[in-house]
Structure 1
């Protein structure tokens, strides 16, 4: 039985019982949202504190602030040093980390169920009471510059960044999540502090947790920890609205067609062909997922068979897509000898165009359904994956779909759906990026 439940911002109650356990949502004073999935047989809990702010939301003067904050919130509060924060999780064998994306940021931890009160206390303190210490910021500036240098040394990462720039033009989503060396060197503590003060407030916070937990206890612990932080938590306050589609920004996204070459002293060229794709909530996103699986999702995919197995032109080749609130883009990747770049790029385009004109076979469709559904079910055995699903449901989709419903949506995709979504992609402009030795 498919279960799809819309999530109004003021909703409090049970969203579903998804086999593992009950999924509940509450809105706390101040507009803080808490979503949990109880998994009674688990001894661990993964908890995440989400903020719907990403690299696309930065001011021109503060490019890189979101990623900078991801680092700085681990660097101390009025009551905890950076060492105190690190030691709190090491002492119990737990894990803590954070991730910045283009439309959200999450701070998360995985601990034993008995250590959940500690994790809530420490993560809340970090989020609500960071001091953004000037000395720590200068130290971390060097760390981030090293991180960017490491990414720039990876030709595949470098190629993906260049593809986003070529496909999205002046759109804020085209900017690298971590900033650039110039923006990181230039951003000031004032810019980072203003970014923190604007976005890190109760009505923007979403707490999601999955594992061995009790929902009411999680709500109590979160509310008590936030109250100790000194945040204003008025009763009846509403959560901030979910991200709206930014039509002005979408209009700035223009593709720079053709082949763009970037010189890098490596042995192998990284080749990417891409174009505009679907937004996160587009109804065809499930068909796109099935199309990607058939085209370039594994060793039996068309790209792998054509480019690697039959012709021996590449070791790695795949298809992918990235979706956001107002647009998305797709890409086809292969790593090959610099002399074979044009041949490989033509083969990738030919396979995409063939999907837009011919129906995939029943065997390919069945294999893609099994690949996606099997991967989804196996992934849901992780408390981290279930925690992330709750965050995505709340911040991005505004709906919760249980596991059965998710699998039903994938299995409902037919051959004509795949052909039609491929045709949507092929209709648009394309661009290519090549990173490797100069020709």
Structure 2
């Protein structure tokens, strides 16, 4: 049972009482992410996320680390392209402690210069680590190939040049602009009563005031481009895809089923055809990412250099087969059951339930019950899949990004581009 209260200062509080568990998950969701940054402060959202753990007026960084550890709880955070989340999971008896810690970090972090400089070095090391993980890095390169010059095409972590030079003043300007109640949603899920949540949060949050800021929603214009990066890796890491759907698109569930059939699991067409039947890869899958006003569909494969042509041909063959011949009822039902199973099993985790509340409020302004989602998935037809695939998965609109051990990237571009003709 979901319940929602909006305070006078526009803070949204959503709760879900799950009486059969002993834990509670609390999330502070800030409606700001890397798409809100310009080039001069690229990576600042993620930088602030780090700095929120460095100390408040009442707690040192060590105190923050130990507060929930001491009671067996968890404290963490993550930054996305459109929001940032700080969250805790504790036994229900320590709910007040978790709220006190999160609100202290959110409103009273000190952002001392010495901590900024120290964390600057930490993030620079994180960027180096990320550069050494081509299977992760290639996805950001792919987004950049499709949405170049747009913030959605830039990496969340930022670039070394910007992180090394960004000043405390710029960090604080960004923090004061976005970290205010008008941008805050609090989600709570677990063994907790709604009224207890409100009675605890209202006196902490409602006195806080801030100026609401409206996101400048500039929809990215997709580009068709091939980008390859030379790196001494054992495998080529390859992403190919096309623009997808925004989160509230009427066809979002049709495309989720389509993605599941194409590359969404061990029984998917790409996994069965490319790995199981031919042994050309260890990893191959597809995914669909949605934002407020745009989306991205991608197929990823990690493969040997000599298998690129064949894997590309097989991938596009499966896309064309869905467009021309559609899908059969057996794989359609299997994909629906897979999506429904993934959804319902994920709801056994209080962190997932909490996250779902917060993200739903940020993106939709409401929470769609699981039963309604299941019904929407069940309504998807083979004809809808075929028609949407024809509209969206046009090879002439595909972009491509690859990282691998080659000398002549220009030749690789020619080979890959030729497969689309």
Normalising by structure 1, report the TM-score: 0.89
CA contact 1:121–1:222 (8 Å) conserved in 2: no
CA distance in 2, matches of 1:40, 1:400: 20
Residues 24-48 of structure 1 deviation map (CA, whole Å, 9 limit, x = unaligned): 1111232211100011111100000
RMSD over aligned Cα atoms: 1.6
Number of paired residues?
406
Residues 374, 179 of structure 1: alpha-carbon distance in 2 compared, 3 angstrom cutoff: same
Moved over 6 A (4+): none
Residue 271 of structure 1: CA displacement? 1.4
Secondary structure of the equivalent of 2:282? coil
Equivalence for 1:139: 118
Secondary structure of the equivalent of 1:131? coil
Indicate whether 1:151 and 2:122 are aligned: no
CA contact 1:30–1:202 (8 Å) conserved in 2: yes
Residue 324 of structure 1: CA displacement? 0.8
Residue 242 of structure 1: CA displacement? 7.6
Equivalence for 1:195: 174
CA contact 1:169–1:256 (8 Å) conserved in 2: no
Q: 1:125 aligns with which of 94, 104, 107?
A: 104
Q: 1:254 aligns with which of 222, 225, 230?
A: 222
Q: 1:328 aligns with which of 263, 281, 295?
A: 295
CA distance in 2, matches of 1:29, 1:412: 39
Equivalence for 1:40: 19
Equivalence for 1:300: 267
Indicate whether 1:435 and 2:403 are aligned: yes
Residues 384, 243 of structure 1: alpha-carbon distance in 2 compared, 3 angstrom cutoff: farther
Which deviates more, 334-343 or 368-377? 334-343
Residue 109 of structure 1: CA displacement? 0.3
Residue 325 of structure 1: CA displacement? 1.0
Residue 422 of structure 1: CA displacement? 1.2
CA contact 1:243–1:325 (8 Å) conserved in 2: no
Q: 2:47 aligns with which of 68, 71, 93?
A: 68
Which deviates more, 59-68 or 112-121? 59-68
Equivalence for 1:415: 382
Residue 80 of structure 1: CA displacement? 1.0
Equivalence for 2:208: 231
Secondary structure of the equivalent of 1:107? strand
CA distance in 2, matches of 1:203, 1:33: 9
Task: In structure 1, list runs of 5 or more residues that go unmatched.
Answer: 1-21, 234-238
CA contact 2:24–2:192 (8 Å) conserved in 1: yes
CA distance in 1, matches of 2:297, 2:251: 14
Equivalence for 2:286: 319
Normalising by structure 2, report the TM-score: 0.93
Indicate whether 1:263 and 2:211 are aligned: no
Task: In structure 2, list runs of 5 or more residues that go unmatched.
Answer: 408-421
Residue 411 of structure 1: CA displacement? 1.0
Residues 206-251 of structure 1 deviation map (CA, whole Å, 9 limit, x = unaligned): 1000001111221222223347xx7338xxxxx958867x2xx32x
Secondary structure of the equivalent of 2:300? strand
Q: 1:57 aligns with which of 36, 49, 54?
A: 36
Residue 339 of structure 1: CA displacement? 1.3
Instruction: Map residues 275-424 of structure 1 onto 2, 5 A cutoff.
Output: 275-424=242-391
CA distance in 2, matches of 1:60, 1:335: 31
